[in-house]
Amino acid sequence: MSACDKPILVFQTDFTYAEGAVSSMYGVVKSVDRELEIFDGTHQIPRYDTWSASYRLYQSLPFWPQGTIYVSVVDPGVGTPRRACAAKTADGHIVVTPDNGTLTHLARYVGIVEVREIDETVNRNPDTRGTSVFHGRDLFGYCAARLASGIIGWEEVGPVYPVEEIVRLPMAEPAAEDGALTGIVDIIDPNFGNAWTNIPLALFEEMGIAYGDLLHLRVCHGDELVLDARMPLCRTFGEVARGELLAYTNELMNVSFTLNQESIVERYGIGFGSDWHVSFGKADR
């Protein structure tokens, strides 16, 4: 297999760059095959946050070429009996990851057609068998490199197990009910402080809501009301003054909300996940 025919490797973790974990993980990949291309997804996922790992895969994986192998290592259960797996998506990618909820969004929005449990007797780095706390380097990175290089084929990753057994985190579905659109804050933008919901723009359009309309937004954390406000639905941030509220369509075609050039997350303490509920309705001017 020539270098240009080998799959790209993309890595995301919660390791940060504060110490040598990422470097040693990439060193193992290059030790398997110097020709493999490695790219960073992100290494800034919040510690132990499998929900964020799941969302970041959904956000970025579909934009990589078919055949890309994406290694995701957010692994609070490293070394425990949780499954280590490789999953093949419906759009032609492979994800190598602990099966701990990290595949939730891909299973829901993209589809997973096959999943295999990594055979550690074959696809674990034999030089580091004395430790069980760095599977990003010793198992996931090593196995992904062997697969990308062509040393092993897909069937040699390990045995198949039912897709239905993939661990999925609870996720509320977006819905239209009683004149309101409901969903969750699926993720936040940690840099700009925007809040991204899982409600697609298409649902707003089905309810007759268009750009320029005024919306009534309620955000609850469990039973606690965190935000109750009105804001316009905008195409761009610049349609409101700095510091003003707006809703807009994010890069995944879901409706999000924020403050123009300020952080709504910091101002109102907005979080994300299955217990952060949102509802939008059309408001009178």
pTM listed for this prediction: 0.96
pLDDT of the residue at 247:
98
pLDDT of the residue at 284:
84
Alpha-carbon distance of 157 to 119, in angstroms, equals 6
Mean pLDDT, 10 residues at a time, the chain of 285 residues: 88 97 98 98 98 98 98 97 97 98 98 98 95 97 98 98 98 92 98 98 96 98 98 98 98 98 98 97 89
Q: Looking at domain 3-165, does it have CATH number 3.90.1530.30?
A: no
Contact call for residues 117 and 181 (beta carbons, < 8 A): no
Tokens of 204: 């707003």
Task: Return the DSSP state at 285.
Answer: -
Please state, as a whole number, how many other Cβ atoms lie within 10 Å of the Cβ of residue 8.
16
Contact call for residues 102 and 72 (beta carbons, < 8 A): yes
pLDDT of the residue at 211:
98
pLDDT of the residue at 46:
97
Ramachandran class of 178: left when φ > 0, alpha when ψ lies in -120 to 50, beta otherwise: left
3-state secondary structure of 207: coil
Q: What is the location of CATH 2.40.30.90 in the chain? A: 175-282
Contact call for residues 271 and 206 (beta carbons, < 8 A): no
Contact call for residues 10 and 39 (beta carbons, < 8 A): yes
pLDDT of the residue at 81:
93
Fold of the 175-282 domain: Elongation Factor Tu (Ef-tu); domain 3 (2.40.30)
Q: What is the location of CATH 3.40.50.10790 in the chain? A: 3-165
Contact call for residues 136 and 77 (beta carbons, < 8 A): no
